[in-house]
Structure 1
């Protein structure tokens, strides 16, 4: 709504100066129905609505698994894809590994770099190994740190759910999605979600831009990048 706000300079002035390589940037990403339904599955840290996560690589870029592939994105571009709060601030939460795990960062970043151009996984397939051919956002992060931790999960996988957290019912979007590809909904199978990843006790919150909403966000499916929550 407030298109004049200098959102694109916020990363350089507010985020980048405090970022360290390996920081995780959790986001309420704007877009279409897929972004909305992902935000409706779980609550993140402090109840925040979160539907995406990226890994900061230390040179003003983030590594993220987004359609159509794992890629590097300029920090400004990443932040500009966020939903804005009522004050025109992008909804981004920055978390950092606890210091006892910081030695894992170089190997995790190296693993993530090796995945560049690997396809995005829109079906959230299970039981795939580190050599797999596709990733979704939180899965890439979980396996990058698993690789760095000698094959042991640092961030444990969590049961997948495709149910609206308010009603407990399977969301029609997911029913239609999996019917279209002829697969069962992987309800309850091991996986990950950026909102649950944000709650890990291996992470500490170090910065927050905007107020990530802890409400139903029923209008998110119609929000375009740079839109404002009202």
Structure 2
């Protein structure tokens, strides 16, 4: 089985440094951590291609290009469990995702797919969740740390964009998608001790 088969999901893992976007994304999710945390997710299209929404916008590119740019320390491939999604549903989801290539990044995580400039946009898990709507329902977004206060990173991030923090707005997160019962893990590749792809 090709680990990058059409419709499989790829999760990127990193142990981010303090006061980074990745650290802020990881710090707000209430999912038990392993040695590394998932901070990004994309959809495999087969032929070693991927559609995903990094902070530079929705991109269709090779998995090697995505790994080279984001420099994860590990990645995992997950697939839908048998009987979860049929062929037509899968192709509909992939067609939707591919049609969004070239859209901007949803820098304010708005549920209406608009960024701070009013352009159609998606963040990584939003693209996946919207593509596979029936399988990944929205959940209230969280921008608070374990102590209940907004993380300073997010306070400054949204202030810079002249936006209120969208606490409890419907959204998604890579770690939550990864825990969905409809998925099962295919493989995990640790890149810390091996040559990067």
Q: Deviations over 1:199-218 (max 9, x none)?
A: 00111111111299xxxxxx
Q: Match of 2:41, SS?
A: strand
Which residue of the partner structure matches residue 98 of structure 1? 81
Q: Match of 2:132, SS?
A: helix
Pairs within 5 Å for 1:21-100: 21-29=6-14, 33-42=20-29, 47=34, 49-80=37-68, 81-84=70-73, 91-100=74-83
TM-score by structure 1 length?
0.71
Q: Mind listing any 5+ residue stretches in structure 1 that lack a counterpart? A: 1-15, 85-90, 147-152, 213-225
Pick from 78, 97, 105 the counterpart of residue 120 of structure 1: 105
Residues 93/158 of structure 1: CA separation in 2 closer, same or farther (3 Å cut): same
Are 2:94 and 1:109 aligned? yes
Bigger fraction of residues in strand? 2
TM-score by structure 2 length?
0.82
Q: Match of 1:66, SS?
A: coil
Pick from 158, 162, 179 the counterpart of residue 199 of structure 1: 179
Pairs within 5 Å for 1:7-26: 17-26=2-11
Q: Mind listing any 5+ residue stretches in structure 2 that lack a counterpart? A: none
Pairs within 5 Å for 1:101-180: 101-103=85-87, 104-128=89-113, 133-146=120-133, 153-164=134-145, 166-180=146-160
CA RMSD of aligned residues (A): 2.6
The count of corresponding residues between Structure 1 and Structure 2 is 183
Q: Match of 2:60, SS?
A: strand
Q: Partners in 2 of 1:174 and 1:202 — Cα distance?
A: 31
Bigger fraction of residues in helix? 1
